[in-house]
Structure 1
Amino acid sequence: MSTSPRNPPFRAEHIGSLLRPEELVKQRYAVADKSASPESLVPIEQKAIRDVVQLQQEVGIRSITNGEYSRHMFWGTFFETLNGMEEVNMRDGGYDMGIFRQYAPDVKSFMHAKTVPNSVTVATGKVSHTGTSSFLPEFEYLKTIVPKEQWKDIKLTLTSPSWYHFRYGPNKAYNKGVYANDDEYFADIAKAYQTELKILYDAGLRNAQVDDPNLAYFCSDAMLQGWKEDKDNFQTADEQFAAYIRFYNKCFERPADFHLGIHLCRGNYVGSKHFSEGAYDAIAKTMFEDLNVSTFYLEYDTPRAGGFEPLKFLPKDKNVVLGVVTSKFPELEKKEDMIERVNTAAEFVAAGSGVSKEEALQRLSVSPQCGFASHAEGNSLGYEDMRKKLQLVRAIADDVWKGEP
């Protein structure tokens, strides 16, 4: 069996989104409510990106991102810019609330708060890529900031292929008559996703991370119970999970030198809110063995994510980035405790693979548990708190993997 790819992922990683300066947040909202022009946002956004790249370089992070400063939310605008997809919430009269899976963890949380999920986007026609990538400008601008030899280290966050499909009830991700079934819908999304990856690859991108809370929701007992009780479902949760893995693998077809990882967490919303709980045990074997990614970025900062036991299923040619440092709150973890947790995780990887702990450590890295600002307003901590968290991640990595980036 081949060994796991390395550099990327690096020993000290982060998940992509970073706290936005207040000026950037205010200006983006001003553009949204049309009190400011889109052009007025550009210099503010670009300065913020330059500053946050400098921050990452100062703390020793190699997988440079733009902090997701070009986005309002972590998933970007991939689906919204495809042919055939429409933001139905933008129509007069809105949309039928019955479209949602009421037990999908993020939807359930929104409904409890008497609000509605934003970005209600469905397929109103056959889906295809336009040939223009909404992610490409982010990469191209980062290339103007870092030296050419570091372009391969730049990391972009990509949208989950199931982002809109999961939150809607069976056969509601597309209008009646557009697709006969999920397989047809998935096939067109996969073609569009492959086009997106090719555009980014041809531009020089070699490092990407899919942000995907949906797969982690299959760890939630409450979600699984809701799924079981939903008489409209035509397949079990296990069958849906397996269908997603097959779908994702078609989306993720790519050249061998294109490093692709996937981040799973249980929600990261305004005010450091999470949406679900549950250990990886129920999905780990299928996901680790069958999903065509090189790296899994996993949430591990609190008991809501369970223990490290599922890591025994990690194949020898794949990596795990351990999100042991929380990005939700300012309290700084003790480095020694985090090093102990990394070593404990390595013991489970070693036991499952039949190798030494030292060999198992070669497939591990460390990071914050999630991004610091999946949503524009960000989590309940300050900019300097974030800096200290990233410095801690770097310090843990320096102790465990001495001399490695």
Structure 2
Amino acid sequence: MSSHFDIVGSFLRPAALKQARLQFEQGNLDQADLTKVEDQLITELVKQEVAAGLTVVTDGEFRRSYWHLDTFWGFGGIDHTQAAHGYFFHDEETRRDAATVTGPIHFTGQHPDLAAFEFLKSVTPAGITPRQSIPSPAQCYFELIRDQENVEALQAVYPNETDLLTDLIQAYRDLIQALYQAGCRDLKLDDCTWGTLVDEDFWQGPGKELFDRTELQAKFLALDNAVLAGWPSDLRLSTHVCRGNYHSTWASAGGYGAVADDLFGKLNVDAYYLEFDDDRSGDFAPLAKVTGDKTVVLGLVTSKQATLEDPTTLIQRVTEASQYVPLERLALSTQCGFASTEEGNQLTATDQWNKIKLVVETAKQIWSTEE
């Protein structure tokens, strides 16, 4: 990231894309024709991102249905299944899609995220950075133990959890190596696990009493760091900590304080993309735990609602955060993408670009002496 403004990555799916995906699901459009539609719309999106002043671009996640499951399904040994329930958000339940282990987990040499990045790179202009986002390995592990059915399927293949973690780490490292060889130099790990760890209500549900949150947090950290370790210094690694972003609703609540020592002090990333768009994320004080010269991208602008934030308030909040992290290591963005799943948040494309314009213009005002 060369500027102090940024994006998390997903964009509202255009009507033409939704129509093409529906035709594909109904058997009225083949994969080649769907890919042509995706290619055209991603090419147009990249041009819009550059025109908006962004120096880092994404493909909007236009080829995905979910921000996380599509990546899991791309590994050998993980199948697309249906759970008894979807994910529970505030006043809403998602579709029931799930990822279940059916064999040893491995990178097959091909992966939808690799193909997606290769195309994105091919349509990204010189001087602009194409970013690839993938769900964190901790998020994948959490998916594989999301309910009793998944746990039983997992244990049938992996009676020894050490073998599971070894294979999962290797599959992720193989995918990242392939992305790096394809030219990826900016990789973001999206992660809802930290958000669930700090939400007391989340752990009151049936079966949740079986989990030891302290042990789970240590496992998440070790798993992610095993995947993040040892990459070339020119690969920028970041993580986005999310509390749920589905159809303008949310899934978890709680400040960063309870996980700050591990998240900000021990996770081996170069940058954090953090939600701070409402009270559910707590205050800025835990940012004092951020170590080294890591960048903190403040998600102060909500992607869930169309109403534009007051620039003066945004400037004041960035100033407040600079008490804990130096201003030169801060940046501004929306708190999440605009469509973590293909349903998208409840705002229009015009609203979406107005939000990005607000981020860019406000950041330039704050960091004008550094631009």
User: TM-score normalized by structure 2?
Assistant: 0.92
Is 1:163 the equivalent of 2:161?
no
Please tell me the residue identity of whatever aligns with 2:87.
Answer: V
Q: Does 1:135 align with 2:113?
A: yes
Residue by residue over 1:305-336, the C-alpha shift from the partner in whole angstroms, topping out at 9 and shown as x without a partner, is 11111111111321110000011111011111
Is the contact between residue 188 and residue 239 of structure 2 (CA under 8 Å) also seen in structure 1?
Answer: yes
Q: Which whole-Å CA distance do the structure 2 matches of 1:226 and 1:239 have between them?
A: 18
Q: Which moved more, 1:304-313 or 1:166-175?
A: 166-175
1:332 is matched with 308
CA distance in 2, matches of 1:108, 1:388: 29
Aligned to 2:101: 123
- 1:200 is aligned to 179
Matched, 1:81 2:69: no
- Residue 376 in structure 1 maps to residue 313 in structure 2: no
Q: Distance in 1 between matches of 2:194 and 2:339?
A: 20
Q: What amino acid sits opposite 2:107 in the alignment?
A: H
Output aligned runs, 1:176-325, within 5 Å. Answer: 176-226=155-205, 230-233=208-211, 236-253=212-229, 254-270=231-247, 272-325=248-301
In the alignment, the residues of structure 2 paired with residue 117 and residue 183 of structure 1 have an alpha-carbon distance, to the nearest angstrom, of 31
4+ residue segments displaced more than 6 Å: none
- Per-residue deviation, 1:108: 3.6
Which structure has greater strand proportion? Answer: 2
Q: Which residue of the partner structure matches residue 147 of structure 1?
A: 125
Partner SS state of residue 172, structure 1: helix
For 1:122, what is the secondary structure of its paired residue? strand
Q: Which residue of 1 aligns with 2:87?
A: 107
Alignment gaps of 5+ in structure 2? none
Shift of 1:76: 5.6
Contact 2:89/2:246 (8 A) holds in 1: no
Aligned AA for 1:390? I
Counterpart residue identity of residue 67, structure 1: G
Structure 2 contact 296–330 (Cα < 8 Å) conserved = yes
CA distance in 2, matches of 1:338, 1:149: 29
User: Is 1:175 matched up with 2:154?
Assistant: yes
| Structure 1 unaligned residues grouped into runs of 5+ | 1-6, 90-94, 101-105, 350-359
CA contact (8 A) 2:203 2:209 kept: no
**Residue-by-residue CA offset, 1:169-218 (whole Å, 9 max, x unaligned):** 47817433321243321111000100011101111110011111122111
Asked whether the equivalents of residues 186 and 247 of structure 1 are also in contact (C-alpha less than 8 Å), the reply is yes
Tell whether the 8 Å contact from 1:11 to 1:404 is kept in structure 2 after alignment. no
| Residue 302 (structure 1) shift | 0.7
SS at 2:27 equivalent: coil
**Are the aligned partners of 1:122 and 1:164 in contact in 2 as well (CA < 8 Å)?**
no
CA RMSD of aligned residues (A): 2.2
1:43 aligns with 2:43: no
Once residues 126 and 137 of structure 1 are traced to their aligned partners in structure 2, the CA distance between those partners, rounded to angstroms, is 22
TM-score normalised to structure 1 length: 0.85
